[in-house]
Amino acid sequence: MDINFGQVFISFLVLVFSLTVHESAHAWAADRLGDPTARLLGRVSLNPLVHADPIGTLLFPLVGLVTGAPLIGWAKPVPVATWRFDHPRRAYLLVAAAGPISNLLLAFIAAAVIHVPLPLAPGSSTSAVIIPMWKMVAVALQVNLLLAIFNMLPIPPLDGSSVLAGVLPERLAAQFDRLRPYGFVLLYALLLSGGFSIVVGRPYHHLLSWLL
């Protein structure tokens, strides 16, 4: 198997950073809305060690990178005490949305950097530094856009399910919450059936072409 280990390493670093920002955004939003639980646990941090999950942040992404599967993963969920919020449903919706929004913002920033003209002389020492950095920014755009779209799927335990539950009437939200134990089954069905390329791949490629 022909594996570009340099590209794998860059992609892995970008993914870990993106997941760290994602979880830190959840923690920051919860703290700002009145629940300091995550902040007291040190989760409002860009230190990847406090967010890393052995399977979702390490094993799963590395397997995906080696096999060519979509580069997605997850970190440790941020604990949220909804009873601390003045308006629990609305606040939890905002906390859930903060993660994908942070990835979307990173994707926009990466796209803006990519569009900055870089007049480089071929073979120059500057090119040797700038080109790898440009490749890292391009990976950041792709990874963060993919994470944002994937996490907004309304399937438990993804953030999109919490956002949807927050906008549904309480009775419908309670019925929707019954799907939570079957969330991973639905996700595996989506991945194995080829539905991933439709519900995630199509909007991903559309937004990527627009940003580029």
Which residue stretches of 33-87 are H helix?
37-40, 60-67
Q: Which residue, among 84, 87, 102, 127, has the nearest Cα to 28 in the 3D structure?
A: 102
**25: closest CA among 104, 117, 83?**
104
Question: Could you tell me the two tokens for 169?
Answer: 């009437």
Q: Which of 8, 130, 120 is nearest to 62 (CA)?
A: 8
Out of 14, 15, 18, 23, which one is annotated catalytic? Answer: 23
Q: Hey, how many other C-beta atoms are within 10 angstroms of the C-beta on 187? A: 17
Q: How far is CA 54 from the centre of its chain?
A: 16
Sign of CA dihedral 6, 194, 184, 199: positive
Q: Is residue 23 flagged as an active site residue? A: yes
Give yes or no for a contact between 82 and 91, defined as CB atoms under 8 angstroms apart: yes
Burial label, 38 (beta-carbon count in 10 A; 0-12, 13-18, 19+): buried
Active site residues: 23
